[in-house]
Amino acid sequence: MERIPSLVFFASLLIIFVTVVNQTRAISCDESLGLCKKCDERCKAKHGPSCISKCDGEVGMLSCTCTYECGPTLPPKRNVCSGGTGMCSGNCPDKCCDTNCAQKYNGGRGFCNSLGNYNLCQCEYPC
């Protein structure tokens, strides 16, 4: 009878140890999110507040890269499609673009992206 409590104690310690080891094995992943406009905002919206965003590349063509903790195994890759809802303007800034994308595409998220002289509303949605 005395062996059961000690066995439960050691089993509990083993479970705690395995959990802590798995958390420390987490690896970081990088994802390119296009041009650098509102890079940090888009990065945190997609991967959470602990991610790190950076803009790098050639002058004039800076690219947003998001580094986030992705764990010991990569999550199942879901297909992400791109679309658009037209132009962004003073009447339709980022929030309006995001709302339009959510209405047009199921699960869609939107952001305004400047391409040359155009300010386009770009959408990403699961497909």
- pLDDT of 14: 45
- pLDDT of 18: 46
**Cα angle 98-100-101, degrees, rounded to a multiple of 5:** 65
Where helices occur in the chain by DSSP H, the ranges are: 3-24, 39-47, 94-104
- Tell me the C-alpha distance between 54 and 44, whole Å: 12
| Contact status, residue 46 vs residue 65, Cβ threshold 8 Å | no
pLDDT by position in tens, the chain (length 127): 555 556 555 545 445 544 544 444 568 888 888 888 888 888 888 888 889 999 887 776 788 889 988 766 555 667 889 888 889 988 888 899 999 999 999 889 999 988 888 889 999 998 8
| Contact status, residue 43 vs residue 30, Cβ threshold 8 Å | no
